Amino acid sequence: MEHAAFTAGIPKVELHLHLEGALEPDLERELARRNGVDPARGTAVEVLVTRADFHDLAAACFRRLAAQDVRHAEVSFDAQVHLARGVAFEDVVLGLHDAAAQARRDLGLSVGLVLSLVRDLPLESAEAALEAATGFREEIMGVGLGSGARDDAPAAFAPLLARARAAGFALSAHGDPARGDAPGHLRRLLEDVGVDRLDHGTDVAGDPRLLALVLERGTGLTCSPLSNAAATGDSRAPVIADLLRRGVKVAVGSGRPARSGGYATENVVALTREADLTFDEIIRLQRNAIEISWAGEQVREEFLAELDAFEVLVAPDL
């Protein structure tokens, strides 16, 4: 069996996907028409205005994920950029939540929503978004730190992340590769904030103390080779594979798939091609992903049972 066919068919978990970065050009054009927005002006997110628009964005993304045999997804949204345009927080969250409920019912895809705090907007806007999110604890599973870059982000956002933790949200944070004082950022996120997961976070590979810490805690890393390649020209596939082989809980996600050339399958295929992953390692990525996910017990058990069945089914062909 080819690795690409194996990767296409394996049941998957997606833990690093920014919904605004999954706005594909055809839907962007349709929403621009619907809302009378000139797509040539401004940024793509300006076409998202109503609760129905956010629903349609998420629903289109969830159909793509289901078509790639993703069974559980934790997807981020950037509330602050929408609040700044006068969109109501509840229209964003409830539109996305409507689509998540439909995906569960119609596609067999379990979805958790993650509020992503935007690093390069004023801290006050992140505070307002987090405050609004506390009114939607049923709909929002976790809080992340991402989108945009700011060199003092871990220190500046630590109190807000602590507040999110106290409100009962699970926590992830971006540790962008090779940016500024990357090891210093990761140390703050791991030691001071105590995040559950790092998005990217591959720079732990260059710091023995951080590597020991993520191994000891079982901290998950959601890596995206295609996003890395789109952002910096370097997929960092060898270091992602090396961390996986050292026993770090590495999973592969998509980041901003409409901008970086692929969703879950394409990212794993790229990593496999560049770093010669074995079939066992491709399976390990999905086991890690469900393990570091925030899914409930039933979703975990169903996923692991399906993964086991997949292994048995394809074993004779390997």
Of 201 and 255, CB closest to Zn ion: 255
Nearer to Zn ion, 19 or 210 (CB): 19
- Name the one range near Zn ion by CB under 5 A: 48-56, 190-198, 207-215, 248-256: 248-256
**Residue of 297, 224, 233, 312 whose CA lies nearest to 263:** 224
- Dihedrals phi, psi of 143, to nearest 5 degrees: -125, 135
**Radius of gyration in angstroms for the set of CA atoms belonging to the chain, rounded to a whole number:** 19
For Zn ion, give the closer residue by CB, 43 or 298. 43
Least distance between Zn ion and beta carbon 114 (Å): 11
Site for Zn ion in 59-78 (CB under 5 A): none
In the complex with Zn ion, which residue's Cβ is closer, 53 or 199? 199
- Alpha-carbon distances of 89 from 57, 95, 128, rounded to whole Å: 16, 10, 10
Cβ atoms of 96 and 54 closer than 8 Å: yes
- Whose CA is closest to 267, among 44, 68, 1? 68
- The interface region with Zn ion, picked from 48-56, 164-172, 191-199, 213-221 by CB under 5 A, is 191-199
DSSP assignment letter at 315: G
Task: Give residue for tokens 């405050």.
Answer: 131
In whole angstroms, what is the distance from residue 107 CA to residue 318 CA? 29
Span near Zn ion by CB under 5 A; candidates 36-44, 117-125, 179-187, 195-203: 195-203
For Zn ion, the nearest residue by Cβ is 255
Q: How far is the CB of 255 from Zn ion (least distance, A)?
A: 5
Residues in CB range of 232: below 8 A, 6 or more apart: 177, 178
Q: Which of residues 128-167 bind Zn ion (CB under 5 A)?
A: 146
Looking at the DSSP bridge assignments, the partners of residue 18 are 76
In whole angstroms, the minimum distance from the beta carbon of 96 to Zn ion comes to 17
Q: Which residues contact residue 35 at a Cβ distance below 8 angstroms, ignoring those fewer than 6 apart?
A: 47, 49, 50, 53
- Closer residue to Zn ion, CB minimum distance, 255 or 257: 255
- Which residue number, 1 or 178, has a Cβ lying nearer to Zn ion? 178
Give the nearest distance from C-beta 86 to Zn ion in angstroms: 25
* Spatial separation of the C-alpha atoms in residues 9 and 278, rounded to whole Å: 15
Q: How far is the CB of 146 from Zn ion (least distance, A)?
A: 5
255 near Zn ion, rule: CB under 5 A: yes
Tell me the backbone φ, ψ of residue 4, rounded to 5 degrees.
Answer: -65, -40
Query: One symbol per residue from 205 to 244: x for binding Zn ion (CB under 5 A), - otherwise; what is it?
Result: ----------------------------------------
Nearest CA to 298 among 68, 77, 104?
104
Q: Which is nearer to Zn ion, 51 or 72 (CB)?
A: 72
If you search the block for the tokens 């010669």, which residue do you land on?
276
Q: How far is the CB of 248 from Zn ion (least distance, A)?
A: 18
Identity at 136, one-letter amino acid code: F
CB of 199 to Zn ion, least distance (A): 5
The minimum distance between CB 311 and Zn ion, in angstroms, equals 30
> How many residues line the site for Zn ion (CB under 5 A)?
3
Question: For tokens 């592969």, what's the residue?
Answer: 252
- Which CB atom, from 49 or from 250, has the smaller least distance to Zn ion? 250
Q: Which residues bind Zn ion (CB under 5 A)?
A: 146, 199, 255
